[in-house]
Amino acid sequence: MYNRIRMLFMLATSMVMAAAWPALAQDKPRPGGELVFAVPSEPPSYDGHQEETFGLIHPVAPHYNTLLRVDPSDKTGTKPVGDLAESWTVSSDQKTYTFRLRRGVKFHDGADMSSRDVKASYDKILNPPAGVKSLRKAAYQAVEAIETPDAHTIVFRLKWPESSFLLNLSSPWNFIYKADTLAKDPRWYEKNINGTGPFTFVEHVKGSHWVGKKNASYWDKGKPYLDGYRAVFITSSSAQVAAVRGERAHIQFRGFTPADRDSLVKALDSKIAVQESPWDCVLMVAMHHEKKPFNDKRFRRALTLALDRYTASKNLSRIAIVRDVAGIQVPGTPWATPPEDLEKLAGYGKDIKAARAEARQLLKEAGVPEGYAFTFKNRGIPQPYEPLGIWLIDQWKQIGLNVKQEIVEASAYHPMLKRGDFEAAMDFQCGFIVEPDLDIARFLTNSDANYGKHQDKVIDELYVKQARATSPDERRKVLREFEKRLLDEEVHVLYTLQWHRIIPHSAKVKGWTITPSHYLNNQLDTVWLAQ
């Protein structure tokens, strides 16, 4: 039995290799068919500017375009390409971005799309009218002005150069809405759909499904390939697996567990294709810097030194949605930590015995006795919180700490973090674009998400420096400094393993590439179904 599982595991890994080259050149897209996919949660409202669940992106994104998007065929999800923008230029001081918009783009109601609509949409995001929220307004603080010299040109003027700006405009949330509609009722889009995207809206049956139909007059001639799609809302993860296994759904775009992948591959064999990628999500341990002994960085360092990350990577990746040992950025993406730098950080070395000996030594120096007990608060969600919690406690036990776990119900969890009602707690981070600015802003002293309440001016300065760096090399250098300070010198937080995104889908689904984020690449215009 054990061997069979191992074989399956290897089989699954080899399938990943095979699937790493989706949309092979010789595959000619076949038009037609309805893509059926499972969505684990349901959109509260329909307005992407105001929500932050992927449950909105998956069914709603195909109705819209954004100004830019990430290249749908790029596995790193970090290359901005035009969506409504046809081309763009950046001034030499990197403070003026000029976009040429596509012509002949129409909203689903027949109206022409122009630069006015793009400006109105961004105005809503940057300066929402009274009574309307905008969740990601803070990401655009650099924007000084948005101008529309003509109907097909839009210009963003910045106060300072910002290396993440193009990716920020590729945000999957920033749907382009119709200016006239917004002028009449800025909240119209909460309950209605009218975009320029590849699919038009058919129906949403609450607690059941969402249906989209091919937009016959889509500006990108020949696309979309599909006749339509059906998003089925299924909360239970075993039911999502059953839906794919019973070939009732082609795919679920968020991700499955390793166990699910193995059972799907075993049951469906060549009828299933598996795509995997490091996931732009990570669980960290927040340590309350105002509580003893967590105020002592020797103690915090001991906690990270105790973790045998490489062994865990091998074993936990069989039972939980985690895999890679990584720093502050997704492995394989432009700003990721090179392995030789990574190994120098505390707790990332390959010699676990030496690390744990050092940890015990540090505990002694910090005056923490053998068998010291504290409570670790974890979130009541099976994947990957609960397995990682069990693992952490086991690791800390090996340096003589006696840690008790308290599971906080998923919904009470965030308020608990915000109140600072913990000694050590699992903290989480998931990005909707793969970009350091987004992932590490939470470590700023004044960030709302600085749950451990550390105060570190150096971190704040390094953040600004990397954000405004004008050359990639310079930015890379500053990011490494930032990382060393955050995870090694000060150990403000402690990273566990990078999440691992596993999408086993019907082999019929073509033209879709996995990215490190479950928020990205869901417009479905390039997706088609093989016979």
Partner 1 sequence: MGAYLVKRFLLMFPTLLGVALVTFLLIRVIPGDVVELRYSGDRGAVSQEVIDQERARIGLDQPVWKQLGTWLIGMAKLDFGTSMWTGAPIWDEIRLRFALSLQVAIMATIVAVLLALPLGVLAALKQDTWIDYAVRIFSIAGLAVPSFWLGIMFILVLLIVFKWLPPMVYTPFWVDPWANMQQLIWPALAVGYRYSAVATRMTRSAMLEVLREDYIRTARAKGLWQSLLLRRHALKNAMLPVMTVVGVEFAFLIGGLVVTEQVFNLNGLGLLFVQAVSHRDYTLIQALVMLVAGIFIVMNFLLDVAFAWLDPRVRYA
Partner 2 sequence: MSELVASLDVPSRSSRWIGACRDFIGRRPLGAIGAGVIVLMFVAALAAPLIAPYDPVAVDFAAMLAPPSAEHWLGTDAFGRDVLSRLIYGSQTALVVGFGASLLGATIGALIGVASAYFGGRIDLFLQRIMDVLLSFPLIILALALVAILGNSIPNLIIAIMVPMIPRCALVIRSSALSIREMPYVDAARAAGFGHSRIILRHMLPNVMASYLVMLTAFLGQAILLEASLSFLGLGVQEPLPAWGLMLRGAAVEFAETAPWMAIFPGVAISLAVFAFNLFGDSLRDALDPRLRTQ
- 94 φψ region: left (φ > 0), alpha (ψ -120 to 50), beta (else): left
Nearer to partner 2, 96 or 263 (CB): 263
Give the C-alpha distances (Å, rounded to integers) separating 42 from 52, 176, 231, 366. 12, 21, 10, 48
Other CB atoms within 10 Å distance of the CB of residue 234: 22
Q: How do strand 509-510 and strand 493-506 relate by DSSP bridges?
A: unpaired
Nearer to partner 1, 248 or 271 (CB): 248
Pick one of 238, 311, 315, 402: the residue that binds partner 1 (CB under 8 A).
238
Sketch the per residue contact string, 425 through 454, with partner 1: x for CB under 8 A, - otherwise. Answer: ---xxxxx--------xx----xxx-----
Least Cα distance to 177 among 108, 87, 86 occurs for: 108
**Which residues lie near partner 2 (CB under 8 A)?**
1-2, 4-5, 8, 237-238, 257, 259-260, 262-263, 311, 315, 318-319, 380-383, 386-387, 389-391, 393-394, 405-409, 411-412
Question: Dihedrals φ, ψ of 504, to 5°?
Answer: -85, 125
Contacts to partner 1 from residues 382-401, by CB under 8 A: none
Residues 6+ apart with CB under 8 A from 356: 305, 306, 398, 399
Rounded to a whole number of angstroms, the minimum distance from the CB of residue 42 to partner 1 is: 8
Give the C-alpha distances (Å, rounded to integers) separating 53 from 4, 49, 443. 37, 11, 22
Q: How many CA atoms lie within 13 A of 111 on its CB side?
A: 12
315 binds, among partner 1, partner 2, none (CB under 5 to 8 A by kind): partner 2
Rounded to a whole number of angstroms, the minimum distance from the CB of residue 263 to partner 2 is: 5
Question: Residue 176 carries which DSSP code?
Answer: P
Contacts to partner 1 from residues 269-288, by CB under 8 A: 281
Rounded to a whole number of angstroms, the minimum distance from the CB of residue 261 to partner 2 is: 10
Question: Dihedrals φ, ψ of 174, to 5°?
Answer: -85, 65
Question: Dihedrals φ, ψ of 525, to 5°?
Answer: -70, -30
112 binds, among partner 2, partner 1, none (CB under 5 to 8 A by kind): none
Q: Which stretch binds partner 1 (CB under 8 A): 15-23, 83-91, 156-164, 424-432?
A: 424-432
Nearer to partner 1, 432 or 528 (CB): 432
Nearer to partner 1, 243 or 325 (CB): 243
Which chain residues interact with partner 1 by CB under 8 A?
38, 44-45, 51-54, 131, 133-135, 138, 190-191, 205-209, 232-236, 238-239, 242-243, 245-246, 248-249, 281, 409-412, 414-418, 428-432, 441-442, 447-449
